[in-house]
Structure 1
Amino acid sequence: MRGRSRRFAILRSYAARVVAVGCALALVASICLVRMVSLQLMGGATADAAVQGRTLKVTTTAKRGRILDSSGIVLAQSVERYNIIANPMYAAEFEPVECTEKTESYCHQIDGKPVGATGAAAVARLLATVLDMSAARIGAKIVDPNSQYAVIAKDVTPEVKRRIDELNLGGIVYGELTNERVYSGGTLLGPILGAVDADGAGVAGLEQTLDDTLTGTDGYMVYQQGNGGEQIPGTLTDQKDAVDGSDVTLTIDESVDWYVKKALTDGKEKYKATWGIGVVYDLQTGGLLAIEDTDQYEAGSDDVKLNASRAVSEVFEPGSIGKVFTMAGMVQEGLHSLSDKFTVPSTIEQDGQTYKDASTHGAEHWTLAGILKNSSNVGMIMAAENFSDEKRYEYLTKFGVGQATGLDLSGESAGILTSSSDWDLRTRNTVLFGQSYAMNALQITRAIATIANKGVLPQMRIIASTTDADGHTTENKVSGGTRVIDESVAAQMLNAMESVAEGYYSIAKVDGYRVAAKSGTAEVAGSNGSLTSIISDWSAILPADNPRFVVTVAFKDAEGLGGLTAGPVACQIGEFLMQKYNVSPSPERTDAIPVDW
């Protein structure tokens, strides 16, 4: 019995150990199974999270369109630049590699010597050897070890970016592609071209008014990045190409504009003027060849964000140039012909108001053409006896007074012209000779171009064409303009203006070419707000026998009236135009309308 009991006890003990081992194995198996499931489920999620953490959707920036002159010279363009980015978290852990034969391809040193620091300080010291920044300034940007993105420098050139790549800081410092707007001409056309803001959007000049045309559409790329922000090969999963903005070609001729700028600058110095303005218009193409002033504002600068071109923003009384507009209206209405005879004193009284000519003279025997040649205010009032206020206003309006040019230039003023119903007894007469209303130089140019254009007020243009990213070019066509006076009337006025110009040939002429012109002088507000300053202007058509160009020049506070200051400068510009465009010399004049009797 005892033997059997002992054997039973042994078996029971053995069974208990087997059960215990089995339970232990089952527990281990269960743990392994749970762990395996966990790895399968959680590990996949962790891997997915890692991939997502490395995956970026990166914007590919579209280039802004270029602005070119009429011959294809690039005036404004966007060039390849890089923003230099650092990862402060990785910078904090940076350990420079000592340069040896084995490590020379990826080591770190400064002027052949060890970096002498670790972490962000070492990174800053290395970057300072390439960037125009101190190590202290760079280090201040990358001191936060919890940050992974810090902008070190903006808009560096590709050359600088390559030199940074050679510092062996991959994974810590890298470059992000961007664009910078650059202008080739400096102060040439500065306010006309304008500027862009920090985000590349136009905020002044043509950059602003043409912003929709010049701005492209950004694209994107989706890929996984390495530690330094670089694309891991083979991980690109989606992309959309950027579409660059359209190029815009202007009617402006850069060489003409340069010459106008120089002539104005020289003229300002010679005649001690406060400022000067110059405009050149090509009747053959309907395009402006030059719009300049003597201000020295560089395109793209803060100055042009605050200052428009004087040619579009500065308005002033045209002075005696305005006699062309009202005299043409009188002839168009059949009140006179240019050969009508007048006896003109130097003063006249009308409605209790006294008017006088610029210089005292006796009773002169002048034709209407002679009144224009001698720029007689009194003669204009005499000739306008039956020219109603409504008609005076109508023709000023028809010649574009008080209206914008339609060029959509930034900062353009429409000028000033009050309704005839608001004129007082003096204003109704002063408008006859270019006073009591105001125009800018572009508007004066367009009004005089009406005479050169056989009586049609032209639709001026500054945009010649646009070319999209696919190379498709669209011409900017303009209408034929609006008829103001008959062709025969325009011919008479052109003839009379040629007689005006002949009176200045001793100081203002273009050798070999006939010129038709009118000068003007007007009082404007000085620095103290009172009428203490003078605008001297001159607008010329040349050649007078076959009109091709209209040139307008104006100076403020020059030492001399319009024909003596603005006239010579306008003719200097005219001489350049005749040579550049190889214009045939003029035949001798044989059809002059008499100016006296």
Structure 2
Amino acid sequence: MNPIRRIYTFFHKNLLTKTMAIGVVLALMGTTCLIQLANIQLVNGKGMAQAAAQSRTTTVTLKARRGKIMDTNGAILAQSVERYTIIGNPEQAQAFIPTTCTKQTGSNCHQINGKPVGVTGAAAVARLLAPVLGMDATELGAKLSISGQYVVLKKDVTPAVKRKISKLNLGGIVYAELSNERLYSNGTLMGSLLGGVDADGKGVAGIEQMENKTLTGRDGYQVYQQGNSGVEIPGTMTESKDAVNGSDVTLTIDRDVQWYTEKVLSDSENKYHSAWGIAMVQDVQSGDILALADSDTTEAGSDQAKMGASRAVSETFEPGSIGKVLAMSGMLQLGLHKIDDKFTVPNTVTVEGQTYKDAVDHGNEHWTLAGILEQSSNVGMVIAGDKMTNEQRYNFISKFGIGQATGLNLPGESEGVLHPSDSWDRRTRNTVLFGQGYTVNVMQLTNAISVIANKGVKKPQRIIKSITDTAGHVEEQQSKGEATRVIDESVASQMLNAMESSAEHYNTFVKVDGYRMAAKSGTAEVAGANGQLTSIISDYSTIIPADNPRFVITVVLKDPQGSFGGLTAGPVTAEIGEFLMQKYEVPASSPRTDAIPVNW
């Protein structure tokens, strides 16, 4: 074979061998791909599809709205409104590349005032978002430049702002989580009494805390798959549960009465230069509290409102001479005296080495038991109580509700202090006859006087009127406890008569034209800042109208100029009483014709 032929044969054989080798390799690769494809589709296809679906599946919480708090007439005192927390995904933000707006993109693009964004990443997201949130773009950019997939950008955003964000085409980068903002539309009205909620929407003070379980709803949820933009893929929802909003709470408080009572207290603080004031209005027949006020100016829902209880709830004090009503009622009920029994009352009296003196110096006076109350004589009470044992004194003070929980369950309420009679010393056994040696809160004292107005029966108090669930079903709330008879109706009638004489004693300063009042004043020395008896509590409780009791009003002032309760707290009760008579269109009183003699 010639040389040329041998060369041709050599190269032809090598080329054929290489071609066959390449063919074998390609065949093996094709077979491998077919096997892998079959494995994916036939063996692992279902599992991989499930894994992909799972990676897109998300659970979204549906926030329940907290119930409203309303006054007795349905005026809203506290409510939750729809608000959103704006969340950013830093990792997605840093990878963001804006889409330039063209005819082809339509509205699915990004621009600022008709111009391109100009940057990419977190800075681009910040430039788009800052004007809508009213924030600095640099600050937003910094928040979106951290590691991770979750950062809070802004809280308490309105639905209108949330809708603007949704038009920015930042799905998957920026989204909104529903939250509820608690609003108190009346500012300082009932500030500490309403209290407030914490960052999680839980009641932490006041009525918000007391009724937290009722006001709190149950969150719901949705489980679905979301696309790259963070939007739900239609038809992929697999599970859901609707949120159940909290129930609404209606109080017995009348907002108008509360507002006026707070106003009068504020005015009295300026007029009498008192350190603080407390006032309460109670409906005699129902035991409903129409106003529970103090002179503190605290915004409802504020940090201050969340930190402590209302002064009207927590403050305790010696009632002073108002306590004579309780002790004298016991004397009549036990048959130790009659209301018109005659006494000669000196300026001072000494019993077991303890001397007691009246507030105003006088000679030997001829007063009936009714006159002792009318003149508010401590000496007269000690003399009249001579046959009343310590245990009897304790029992009657206790029967009027002193030293016991009111049943209102208001956070921060103090029961006051009424020590057992076997612990009293020689002085305390007599000071309790005129309202010293024990302490009360304003709810206890008001309800005690309501016993006289309600013909001798102590009714449980109520501040929660009704509960309304999300379906609109209204459940009237009953007072805690049962009504109990403390004194006979005849005894209550005699005490009411004597209290009316006591009110007439001050009618130059304390009166409501056209209406009779039955009242008792009190003035007690209490410990001041130095621990000594350098401070004064002046209080006054009024039943109005006396001939047909509708309301009991109690006012308590700390260190007022003028000291005596009848001269300071008394006029404040008259202002509130006048407002009540007008608001509720109470008929004018008939003339008084049955006054029990106070002198002999």
Query: Is TM-score (shorter-chain normalized) higher than 0.5?
Result: yes
In structure 2, the partner of 1:266 is 267
Matches within 5 A, 1:145-544: 146-478=147-479, 480-544=482-546
Does residue 69 of the first structure (1) align with residue 96 of the second (2)?
Answer: no
- Cα distance in 2, alignment partners of residues 289 and 115 from structure 1: 60
Aligned residue-pair number: 585
In structure 2, the partner of 1:575 is 578
- Cα distance in 2, alignment partners of residues 230 and 86 from structure 1: 15
SS in 2 for 1:160: helix
SS in 1 for 2:326: helix
Q: Which region of structure 1 is more displaced relative to structure 2, 132-141 or 461-470?
A: 132-141
Cα deviation code 1:397-452 (max 9, x no counterpart): 00111111110001000000111100000000000000010001111101111111
- Cα distance in 1, alignment partners of residues 302 and 48 from structure 2: 51
SS in 2 for 1:338: coil
Contact 1:68–1:249 (CA under 8 A) maintained in structure 2: yes
Cα deviation code 1:170-220 (max 9, x no counterpart): 332111111111112211111211111111111111111111111111111
Tell me: CA distance 1:300–1:48, structure 2 relative to 1, closer, same or farther (3 Å): same
Does residue 586 of the first structure (1) align with residue 589 of the second (2)?
Answer: yes
Does residue 121 of the first structure (1) align with residue 120 of the second (2)?
Answer: no
Q: Kindly provide the amino acid, as one letter, of the partner of residue 462 in structure 1.
A: I
Tell me: CA distance 1:523–1:130, structure 2 relative to 1, closer, same or farther (3 Å): farther
Matches within 5 A, 1:28-177: 28=29, 30-40=31-41, 41-98=43-100, 105-110=107-112, 114-144=116-146, 146-177=147-178
Cα deviation code 1:88-136 (max 9, x no counterpart): 1121122334556766734444456554432112222332212243223
Q: Give, in angstroms, the shift of residue 82 of structure 1.
A: 0.4
SS in 2 for 1:474: strand
Q: Give, in angstroms, the shift of residue 536 of structure 1.
A: 0.7
- Cα distance in 1, alignment partners of residues 318 and 26 from structure 2: 107
Tell me: CA distance 1:526–1:106, structure 2 relative to 1, closer, same or farther (3 Å): farther
SS in 1 for 2:588: coil
- Cα distance in 1, alignment partners of residues 37 and 105 from structure 2: 43
Q: Kindly provide the amino acid, as one letter, of the partner of residue 105 in structure 1.
A: S
Contact 1:321–1:518 (CA under 8 A) maintained in structure 2: yes
- Cα distance in 2, alignment partners of residues 369 and 172 from structure 1: 81
SS in 2 for 1:130: helix
- Cα distance in 1, alignment partners of residues 35 and 100 from structure 2: 48
Once superposed, what is the RMSD of the aligned Cα atoms?
2.3
Task: Give the TM-score normalised by the residue count of structure 2.
Answer: 0.93
Q: Give, in angstroms, the shift of residue 76 of structure 1.
A: 1.2
Contact 2:286–2:459 (CA under 8 A) maintained in structure 1: no
Cα deviation code 1:51-88 (max 9, x no counterpart): 11111122211111111111011111111110101111
Contact 2:197–2:205 (CA under 8 A) maintained in structure 1: yes
Q: Which region of structure 1 is more displaced relative to structure 2, 293-302 or 156-165?
A: 156-165
In structure 1, the partner of 2:10 is none
Q: Give, in angstroms, the shift of residue 138 of structure 1.
A: 1.8
Q: Which region of structure 1 is more displaced relative to structure 2, 416-425 or 188-197?
A: 188-197
In structure 2, the partner of 1:4 is none
- Cα distance in 1, alignment partners of residues 61 and 304 from structure 2: 31
- Cα distance in 1, alignment partners of residues 229 and 268 from structure 2: 58
- Cα distance in 2, alignment partners of residues 389 and 285 from structure 1: 33
Cα deviation code 1:17-57 (max 9, x no counterpart): 99989966863553133122233144543332221111112
Tell me: CA distance 1:255–1:104, structure 2 relative to 1, closer, same or farther (3 Å): farther
Q: Kindly provide the amino acid, as one letter, of the partner of residue 169 in structure 2.
A: N
Of 561, 565, 573, the match for 1:562: 565
SS in 2 for 1:84: strand
Contact 2:285–2:454 (CA under 8 A) maintained in structure 1: no
- Cα distance in 2, alignment partners of residues 527 and 122 from structure 1: 61
Q: Give, in angstroms, the shift of residue 528 of structure 1.
A: 2.5
- Cα distance in 2, alignment partners of residues 419 and 148 from structure 1: 64
Q: Which region of structure 1 is more displaced relative to structure 2, 452-461 or 146-155?
A: 146-155
Q: Give, in angstroms, the shift of residue 500 of structure 1.
A: 0.7
Q: Give, in angstroms, the shift of residue 264 of structure 1.
A: 0.4
Contact 1:172–1:227 (CA under 8 A) maintained in structure 2: no
Q: Kindly provide the amino acid, as one letter, of the partner of residue 581 in structure 2.
A: M
Contact 1:174–1:228 (CA under 8 A) maintained in structure 2: no
Task: Give the TM-score normalised by the residue count of structure 1.
Answer: 0.94
Tell me: CA distance 1:232–1:537, structure 2 relative to 1, closer, same or farther (3 Å): same
Q: Give, in angstroms, the shift of residue 229 of structure 1.
A: 3.2
Q: Which region of structure 1 is more displaced relative to structure 2, 544-553 or 525-534?
A: 525-534
Cα deviation code 1:281-339 (max 9, x no counterpart): 01233210011101111111111122211111000000000000000000000011111
- Cα distance in 2, alignment partners of residues 536 and 113 from structure 1: 72
Contact 1:173–1:228 (CA under 8 A) maintained in structure 2: no
Unaligned runs of 5+ in 2: 1-12
Does residue 595 of the first structure (1) align with residue 589 of the second (2)?
Answer: no
- Cα distance in 1, alignment partners of residues 350 and 128 from structure 2: 85
Q: Kindly provide the amino acid, as one letter, of the partner of residue 507 in structure 1.
A: F
SS in 1 for 2:446: helix
Q: Give, in angstroms, the shift of residue 391 of structure 1.
A: 0.3
Contact 1:155–1:178 (CA under 8 A) maintained in structure 2: yes
Tell me: CA distance 1:496–1:200, structure 2 relative to 1, closer, same or farther (3 Å): same
Of 525, 547, 570, the match for 1:545: 547
SS in 2 for 1:354: strand
SS in 1 for 2:126: helix
Q: Which region of structure 1 is more displaced relative to structure 2, 262-271 or 520-529?
A: 520-529
Q: Give, in angstroms, the shift of residue 269 of structure 1.
A: 0.7
The alignment-based identity, stated in percent, is 62
- Cα distance in 2, alignment partners of residues 142 and 29 from structure 1: 46
